[in-house]
Amino acid sequence: MTARIHLLLGSLSAALVAFALTSPRVIAADKVDPVADAKAFQNFFFQKFPNVKHEDFVNGPYSMNEDMKRQWQEKEEFPPYEFALDAGKEMFATPFKNGKTYADCFPNGGIGIRQNYPYFDEKEGKVVTLELALNRCREANGEAPYSYVKDEMASLTAYMAYTSRGELMDIKIPDDPRALAAFENGKRYFYTRRGQMNFSCASCHVQSPGERIRAEILAPALGILNAMPIYRSEWSGMGTTSRRFVTCNSQTRAVPLEPQADEYRDVEYFLSYVANGLPISGPGARP
């Protein structure tokens, strides 16, 4: 038993020391500054990969490896997400039982607006993602919501992403302390280690993009959500942003949170904001 007490005391003192070290910076950095964060985030990747064109970062692993890029370009000639796209288009055109359609729930009929999602809803005081907005639209029109990790949701977001292809990511953070808090919460989630593997999102997507983890090449974090939803050969099916977050968690042996949990909405907000200015390339095809 005594060994364990030493251990706990040891870790407490270590934590105290760590806190003392960071406290001056914590006070200085207390004011959340998304603009500076985004600039630093983008510059980190631009400097780390000087010969990757800025807009190429949205192609994830394919911006990191030539052999993989050729296989991707071959797939893109007739991409496997073609069926999800057609299904999404059809669902958009099919009215709900009450006669309304998705177009009635979204600005500009839902066409060419994906780059503004997720947005901060000042009434609700929370981040609203595209997947959440789609399900709320269904519920508002008396329809049952779709699972966040299954094909129907992926088809809808695939079609909406397709109508925004090439548009530059344009996420806004209103001057509202709750919005800044959501951004900061998303950033904290992104850098926090979790699971028995003790990895954070950054362990893979900031410290080692371009390197291999088993057969896969790790994608850079910059622009990583611009291609959502993605058809993954490994799933031989479509994957929404929610499905990607949930599977990433379980791969570090962390029990995933429920889809569209606040943490997931905030980390999507953070990752999308820091990718402002990079083109939407969804729906994407990935290994």
Partner 1 sequence: MKRSLLLAMLLTSSLAPSARAANEADYKAAYAAAEAASKEAAGMRNQWTVTVSALAAAKKAADGGDFDRATAAAKEAEALAKASIFQATSEKDAWKAMEIR
Partner 2 sequence: MASSIRVRATANGDITEVQALIQHPMDTGLVKDSKGELIPAHYIQQLKFECNGKDVFVADWGTAVSKDPYIKFSFKGAKKGDELKISWTDNKGGSDTTTAKIA
Partner 3 sequence: MTTTTGPLPTRRLILQGAAGVALLGLGNLPFGASPALAAANDKYPEEAFKQKNEADAIKALYGKTAEPSDKIKLDAPEIAENGGVVPISVTTSLDKVTSISFFVAENPFALAASYRIPDGTVAAVANRLKMAKTTNVVAIVEADGKLYSATKEVKVTVGGCGG
Residue from 1, 27, 67, 78 binding partner 2 (CB under 8 A): 78
The backbone torsions φ and ψ at residue 142, rounded to the nearest 5 degrees and listed phi first, read: 70, 20
Pick what 11 binds: partner 3, partner 2, partner 1, none; C-beta below 5 to 8 Å, kind-dependent: partner 1
248 is catalytic: yes
Min dist. Cβ of residue 190 to partner 1 (A): 8
Identity of the residue, 111 or 257, whose beta carbon is nearer to partner 1 in the bound complex: 257
Please tell me whether residue 94 binds partner 2 under the rule CB under 8 A: no
Choice among 105, 137, 201, 248 that is catalytic? 248
Identity of the residue, 86 or 211, whose beta carbon is nearer to partner 3 in the bound complex: 211
Residue from 21, 43, 53, 90 binding partner 2 (CB under 8 A): 90
In whole angstroms, how far apart are CA 191 and each of 134, 208, 270, 271? 28, 14, 11, 11
191: Cβ contacts below 8 Å, ≥ 6 apart: 200, 201, 202
Residue from 32, 69, 80, 216 binding partner 2 (CB under 8 A): 80
Please tell me whether residue 196 binds partner 1 under the rule CB under 8 A: yes
Q: Please, how many CA atoms are within 13 Å of residue 207, restricted to the half-sphere of its CB?
A: 10
Contact 287, 214 (CB under 8 A): no
Preceding amide of 80 cis, omega within 30: no
Please tell me whether residue 234 binds partner 2 under the rule CB under 8 A: no
Q: How many Å apart are CA 49 and CA 53, to the nearest integer?
A: 9
Q: How many Å apart are CA 279 and CA 243, to the nearest integer?
A: 22
Pick what 217 binds: partner 1, partner 3, partner 2, none; C-beta below 5 to 8 Å, kind-dependent: partner 3
First vs last C-alpha separation in the chain: 48
In whole angstroms, how far apart are CA 46 and each of 54, 55, 233? 7, 11, 29
Q: Identify the sign of the CA torsion 148, 171, 95, 236.
A: negative
Residue from 27, 124, 236, 255 binding partner 2 (CB under 8 A): 236
Binding mask 63-102 for partner 1 (x = CB under 8 A): ----------------------------------------
Please tell me whether residue 54 binds partner 1 under the rule CB under 8 A: no
Identity of the residue, 90 or 211, whose beta carbon is nearer to partner 2 in the bound complex: 90
Identity of the residue, 82 or 122, whose beta carbon is nearer to partner 2 in the bound complex: 82
Residues assigned a catalytic role: 248
